[in-house]
C-alpha cells in the first residue's frame, strides 16, 4: 500500500511541474518551429534540389527573382524592366531595344504579377509573363533560358496593374489599366475626368508556336480604376473578371472620394464573344504608338518595332459581352477557384469576403435581371449573383488562392494574417499570423485548374524586427506555410528582392528538363559573331571601330589592339566560344560608361566604349572562368585623335 502512496505523490509532483512549465496553458503548436520539425521540412540538404520554383515579382526593383521552395534559396534575378549592370541588360547594344517605349528608353519599371503559361488549365512551364505597372508593358520570360525575350507596350493604359494573367490555354495574356485616362490622350482639365476619362482592358494574343505577343483588341471601359484580374477556368473558361474601384470617378483625394459607393463592381468580360466579334471585322482601328520589343535567341539581339494602330472595341456594341457584378467596398483581389464556379472579390474596406457564383451569373444574364446600367454596361443584381459571404474573416482582405481540395486562403493586410476557409460552406477553418501586413499569397499552380496544395507563400510588405536591421530601409519578405494538414504551419521566413507583389510557383520537374545549358555556336546568327579564330579582327568605319573578338579559357582573341583614337566609338563584339555548361566569361574595359558584359557559352554581346584619354588601357574577364582566369586580359592602345598609328591587332604575336 505504501508503494502506491509513493506513486501517487510522484504523479502529483509531476503534474505540478507540468502546470508550472505551461502557466498560460499554451499549446505546444503555438511555440513555433522548435516544437515541430519545421526546420527539417524546409531543409534541402547540400546537393539536393528544391521541389518547386517560385517566380517572385521584384516590385519596384523591376525584376523577377527565382527562388526554390521549400528552401527559400535565391537562384537568379531575371532582369525584366530595369537596367541591370551585372548582366548588361539595357546596357549592351543587344538588349537596349528591349527597354524602348513610346516615351523613349525607359530603364525602370514596377514589376507586379507574374503568371505562368498554361495548357488545358494546367501550368506548362513554357513562359512566365509579368507586367510593368508604371510605363505600361507586358514582358514574356522564356523559361528554357530564364531570360526576358519579349516586351510589348500597352497603349491607352496607365498604371498597368490589372495584369498579367493568362487564360487556361494561353490564348491571351490580359492587361487592364489601373488609372483611367483620356483616350486618345489630350490636353484637357483634370476636373473633366467624369465621362471623359476611360479605362482599357487589353487582350494580347499569344502565338501557340513561338509565344509571340500581339494586341488582339482593347476594350474601352468606363473611367473606373481596374485593380486586379483573373481568368475564368473550367466552366467559366472564355470569361475574364476584373475588380474595379473608384466607380465614383473621382479625380482627387481618392482615399476619401473613391470610397463613397457602398459597392463597386467586378467586371465580367466574355472574351470569347468579343473575339468572335473582332474576327468578324468588329471594332474600330485607332491610331496608336507603342513599342514591341523582341529578343532573338539566334542573333542574340533585340529589335524594337513601333506599332501604329490598335483595335478598340466599345463594349456597348457587343451585347452580352460585358456585365458588372456589384461587389462591396473597393474590391482588390479577384480570384477564381479551380473549378471556375466561384469568383472571390476582396472588398478591402468591407468586413466580409464576397463570393460570386458563375452559374448564378449566367442565370441572371439569361433572365435579364439587371439593376440598371453604367455607360451601357448592364449591372447584375448583387443578390442574384452572390454565392455566399465569408463573414468577418479578418480586416483588409486582399488576395485569395486555392489548394484544389476545396479550401481557399485569403490574405488580410490590416489584421496581418492568412485565413483558411471552405468553399461552399464559407466557414473559417484556420488563421495564422503574417509578419507583417501581408499582400499577395501564392500556392504553386494556385491560378490554374490544378493547384499543388502543399505550400503557401505569403508576401509581406513590412518586416520591422524580423531580420537584422539594415538602417531605415529593411527588406520585404516571404513566408512559407505548410498547408498539407488541416491547420496551416509557418515553416520559414526569407527576404525578397524588392517588393514581392505576386509570385507564380510550379513543380521544378516541369521546367528543369527544358532548361538550356548553352547556346550552340553553330546556331549563332549574330552579325558580329566570331565563329572560329580566323574570324577575329578589328575594322574601322570612320570613327567607329568594330572589334570582332572571341573568348575561350583563358584568353581573348585579339588581346592587343592598337590604332584606336580618342573620340572613336569602339564596339567590342565579344563571342564566348565555349560550348561547356556553366562557363560564362565576362568582359570589362577601363572607363566604359556602360557596364560589363557577361556572355554565356555560344553567345555574342556588344559593349560600346568611347575612350576619352590617351594611353594603354586594359580589359579583362570578369567571371572567374578557369584556373588561368587572372591571365585572361588584354590591352588597347589609345592614341590622340590626330595620330596616324595604324590599326592593328594580335594574339600571342
Partner 1 sequence: MKKASVLMILGPLFLLGLFIFPLWNIMLGAPQYPEPLGMNIFINGIKGVQEFDIKNIDGLNHYIGMKTIPKAEEMWEFRTFPLVIGGMVFLGLVIGILGFFGKVGYKWFIGWFVLMSILGVLGMCDFNAWLIDYGTNLDPKAIMKLTNPDGSPLSYKPPLFGYQKMLNFDVTSLPSTGAWMMFVGMMMTLAAFFMGWKQHRTQKLPTVLVKWKMHKK
**Of these, 18, 34, 468, 627, which contacts partner 1 (CB under 8 A)?**
627
Q: Which three cell numbers stand for residue 137?
A: 508593358
Q: How far apart are CA 555 and CA 587, in angstroms?
A: 11
* Dist CA 439 CA 158 (whole Å): 22
- Name which of 205 and 626 has its Cβ closer to partner 1: 626
Smallest separation, CB 515 to partner 1 (Å): 13
* Residues in region 530-569 near partner 1 by CB under 8 A: 552-553
The helix (H) or strand (E) run that includes residue 9 is: helix 2-21
User: Closest by alpha carbon to 530, among 630, 589, 599?
Assistant: 599
Closest to partner 1 by CB, 575 or 639? 575
Least CB distance from residue 579 to partner 1, whole Å? 4
- When binding is defined by CB under 8 A, the residue of 36, 119, 205, 579 that contacts partner 1 is 579
Strand 537-541 to 544-552 pairing: antiparallel
Least CB distance from residue 625 to partner 1, whole Å? 11
- Smallest gap from Cβ 627 to partner 1, in A, equals 7
* 526 within 8 A of 546, measured Cβ to Cβ: no
93 versus 578: smaller Cβ distance to partner 1: 578
Question: Is residue 578 close enough to count as binding partner 1 by CB under 8 A?
Answer: yes
| Least distance to partner 1, CB of residue 144, Å | 17
CB 207 within 8 A of CB 229: no
* Cβ contact 115:164 at 8 Å: yes
In the bound state with partner 1, the residue whose beta carbon lies nearer, of 336 and 552, is 552
For residue 573, the minimal CB distance to partner 1 (Å) is 22
Dist. CA 630–CA 622, nearest whole Å: 9
| Residue with Cβ nearer partner 1 (296 or 580) | 580
Q: Does 581 bind partner 1 (CB under 8 A)?
A: yes
**Segment interacting with partner 1, rule: CB under 8 A, options 177-185, 258-266, 291-299, 575-583:** 575-583
The dihedral region occupied by 146, where left means phi > 0, alpha psi between -120 and 50, and beta the remainder, is left
The residue behind cell 493568362 is: 166
Provide, rounded to whole angstroms, the least separation between the CB of residue 651 and partner 1: 14
In terms of DSSP bridges, do strands 633-639 and 560-565 run parallel, antiparallel, or are they unpaired? parallel
Q: Does 512 bind partner 1 (CB under 8 A)?
A: no
C-alpha cell at 308: 501604329
Indicate the residue among 405 and 628 with the shorter CB distance to partner 1: 628
DSSP-H helix ranges across 372-426 = 382-385
Please state, in angstroms and rounded to a whole number, the distance separating the CA atoms of residues 455 and 443: 6
- Based on CB atoms, which residue is closest to partner 1, 46 or 372? 46
Among the residue ranges 124-132, 467-475, 477-485, 577-585, the one whose residues contact partner 1 (CB under 8 A): 577-585
Cβ 622 to partner 1, closest distance in Å?
19
Stretch that binds partner 1, among 128-136, 443-451, 541-549, 576-584 (CB under 8 A): 576-584
Q: How far is the CB of 382 from partner 1 (least distance, A)?
A: 60
In whole angstroms, give the CA distance from residue 378 to residue 616.
73
- Taking the complex as a whole, the smallest distance from the CB of residue 580 to partner 1 amounts, in Å, to 5
Q: Which residue, 340 or 601, is less far from partner 1 as judged by CB? A: 601
Residue 632 touches partner 1, criterion: CB under 8 A: no
Q: Which of 311, 518, 566, 647 binds partner 1 (CB under 8 A)?
A: 518
Q: Under rule CB under 8 A, how many of the chain's residues touch partner 1?
A: 9
Smallest gap from Cβ 524 to partner 1, in A, equals 14
| Least distance (Å) between residue 298 CB and partner 1 | 17
Tell me whether residue 582 is exposed, middle or buried, using C-beta atoms within 10 angstroms of its C-beta: 0 to 12, 13 to 18, 19 or more: exposed
Stretch that binds partner 1, among 117-125, 202-210, 574-582, 584-592 (CB under 8 A): 574-582
CB nearer to partner 1: give 518 or 608: 518
Number of neighbours of residue 500 by Cβ within 10 angstroms: 30
Can residue 633 be called a binding residue for partner 1 (CB under 8 A)? no
Choice from 469, 580, 615, 650 touching partner 1 (CB under 8 A)? 580
CB contact at 8 A, 433 and 412: no
Residue 610, all three cell numbers = 568611347
DSSP string, 227-249: EEEEE--GGGTTEEEEEEE-TT-
Nearer to partner 1, 103 or 517 (CB): 517
Candidate segments 147-155, 187-195, 417-425, 579-587, binder of partner 1 by CB under 8 A: 579-587
Q: DSSP letters of 171-189?
A: SEEEEE-SS-EESS-----
**Alpha-carbon torsion, ordered 250, 254, 257, 263, to 10 deg:** 90
Q: Helix, strand or coil for residue 380?
A: strand
Q: Which stretch binds partner 1 (CB under 8 A): 235-243, 276-284, 472-480, 578-586?
A: 578-586
Looking at the Cβ atoms of 321 and 577, the one nearer to partner 1 is 577
Q: Where are the alpha helices (DSSP H) in 407-527?
A: 508-512
DSSP-based three-state secondary structure for 279: helix
Residue 523 CB, shortest distance to partner 1, in Å, is 12
Candidates 12, 39, 628, 645; binder of partner 1 (CB under 8 A) is 628
- Only one of the segments 230-238, 436-444, 572-580, 633-641 lies at the binding site for partner 1 (rule: CB under 8 A); that segment is 572-580
Place of cell 499577395: 440
Residue 613, C-alpha cell as written in the block? 584619354
Would you state the cell numbers that stand for residue 287, as one nine-digit string? Answer: 491610331
What x/- string results for residues 43 through 62 when contact with partner 1 is judged by CB under 8 A? --------------------
Count CB atoms within 10 A of the CB of residue 388: 16
Q: How far is the CB of 288 from partner 1 (least distance, A)?
A: 46
The three cell numbers of residue 565 are: 583614337
Min. distance of Cβ 109 from partner 1 in angstroms? 38
What gap in Å lies between CA 13 and CA 19, rounded to an integer?
10
Q: Which residues bind partner 1 (CB under 8 A)?
A: 518, 552-553, 578-581, 627-628
Amino acid at each position: 500500500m505504501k508503494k502506491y502512496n509513493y506513486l501517487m505523490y510522484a504523479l502529483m509532483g509531476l503534474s505540478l511541474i507540468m502546470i508550472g512549465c505551461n502557466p498560460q496553458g499554451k499549446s505546444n503548436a503555438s511555440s513555433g518551429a522548435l516544437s515541430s520539425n519545421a526546420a527539417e521540412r524546409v531543409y534541402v540538404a547540400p546537393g539536393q534540389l528544391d521541389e518547386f520554383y517560385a517566380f517572385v515579382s521584384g516590385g519596384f526593383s523591376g525584376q523577377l527573382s527565382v527562388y526554390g521552395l521549400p528552401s527559400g534559396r535565391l537562384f537568379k534575378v531575371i532582369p525584366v524592366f530595369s537596367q541591370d549592370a551585372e548582366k548588361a541588360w539595357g546596357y549592351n547594344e543587344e538588349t537596349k531595344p528591349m527597354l524602348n517605349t513610346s516615351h523613349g528608353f525607359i530603364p525602370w519599371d514596377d514589376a507586379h504579377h507574374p503568371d505562368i503559361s498554361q495548357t488545358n488549365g494546367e501550368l506548362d512551364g513554357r513562359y512566365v509573363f509579368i507586367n510593368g505597372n508604371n510605363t505600361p508593358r507586358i514582358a514574356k520570360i522564356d523559361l528554357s533560358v530564364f531570360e526576358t525575350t519579349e516586351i510589348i507596350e500597352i497603349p491607352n493604359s496607365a498604371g498597368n496593374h490589372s495584369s498579367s494573367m493568362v487564360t487556361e490555354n494561353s490564348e491571351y495574356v490580359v492587361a487592364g489599366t489601373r488609372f483611367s485616362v483620356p483616350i486618345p490622350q489630350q490636353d484637357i482639365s483634370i476636373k473633366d475626368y467624369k465621362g471623359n476619362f476611360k479605362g482599357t482592358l487589353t487582350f494580347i494574343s499569344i502565338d501557340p508556336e513561338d509565344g509571340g505577343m500581339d494586341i488582339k483588341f482593347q476594350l474601352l471601359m468606363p473611367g473606373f480604376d481596374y485593380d486586379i484580374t483573373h481568368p475564368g477556368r473550367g466552366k467559366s473558361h472564355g470569361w475574364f473578371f476584373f475588380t474595379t474601384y473608384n466607380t465614383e470617378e473621382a479625380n482627387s483625394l481618392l482615399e476619401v472620394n473613391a470610397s463613397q459607393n457602398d459597392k463597386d463592381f467586378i467586371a465580367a468580360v466574355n472574351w470569347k464573344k468579343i473575339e468572335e466579334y473582332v474576327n468578324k471585322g468588329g471594332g474600330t482601328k485607332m491610331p496608336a504608338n507603342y513599342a514591341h520589343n523582341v529578343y532573338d535567341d539566334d542573333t542574340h539581339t533585340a529589335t524594337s518595332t513601333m506599332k501604329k494602330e490598335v483595335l478598340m472595341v466599345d463594349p456597348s456594341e457587343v451585347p452580352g459581352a460585358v456585365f458588372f457584378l456589384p461587389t462591396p467596398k473597393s474590391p482588390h483581389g479577384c480570384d477564381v477557384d479551380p473549378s471556375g464556379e466561384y469568383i472571390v472579390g476582396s472588398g478591402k474596406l468591407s468586413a466580409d469576403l464576397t463570393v460570386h457564383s458563375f452559374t448564378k451569373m449566367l442565370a441572371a444574364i439569361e433572365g435579364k435581371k439587371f439593376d440598371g446600367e453604367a455607360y451601357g454596361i448592364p449591372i447584375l443584381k448583387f443578390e442574384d449573383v452572390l454565392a455566399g459571404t465569408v463573414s468577418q474573416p479578418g480586416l483588409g482582405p486582399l488576395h485569395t488562392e486555392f489548394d484544389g481540395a476545396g479550401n481557399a486562403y485569403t490574405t488580410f493586410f490590416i489584421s496581418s494574417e492568412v485565413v483558411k476557409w471552405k468553399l461552399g460552406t464559407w466557414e473559417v477553418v484556420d488563421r495564422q499570423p503574417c509578419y507583417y501586413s501581408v499582400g499577395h499569397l501564392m500556392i504553386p499552380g494556385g491560378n490554374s485548374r490544378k493547384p499543388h496544395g502543399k505550400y503557401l507563400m505569403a508576401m509581406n510588405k513590412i518586416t520591422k524586427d524580423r531580420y537584422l536591421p539594415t538602417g531605415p530601409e529593411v527588406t520585404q519578405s516571404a513566408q512559407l506555410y505548410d498547408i498539407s494538414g488541416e491547420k496551416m504551419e509557418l515553416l520559414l521566413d526569407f527576404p525578397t528582392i524588392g517588393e514581392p507583389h505576386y509570385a507564380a510557383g510550379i513543380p521544378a520537374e516541369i521546367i528543369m528538363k527544358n532548361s538550356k545549358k548553352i547556346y550552340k555556336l553553330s546556331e549563332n546568327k549574330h552579325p558580329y559573331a566570331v565563329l572560329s579564330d580566323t574570324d577575329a579582327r578589328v575594322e574601322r568605319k570612320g570613327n567607329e571601330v568594330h572589334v570582332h573578338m572571341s573568348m575561350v579559357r583563358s584568353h581573348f582573341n585579339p588581346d592587343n589592339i592598337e590604332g584606336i583614337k580618342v573620340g572613336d566609338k569602339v564596339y567590342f563584339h565579344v563571342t564566348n566560344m565555349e560550348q561547356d555548361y556553366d562557363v560564362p566569361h565576362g568582359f570589362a574595359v577601363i572607363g566604359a560608361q556602360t557596364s560589363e558584359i557577361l556572355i554565356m557559352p555560344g553567345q555574342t554581346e556588344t559593349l560600346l566604349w568611347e575612350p576619352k584619354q590617351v594611353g594603354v588601357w586594359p580589359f579583362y574577364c570578369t567571371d572567374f572562368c578557369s584556373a588561368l582566369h587572372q591571365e585572361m586580359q588584354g590591352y588597347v592602345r589609345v592614341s590622340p585623335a590626330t595620330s596616324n598609328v595604324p590599326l592593328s591587332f594580335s594574339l600571342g604575336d
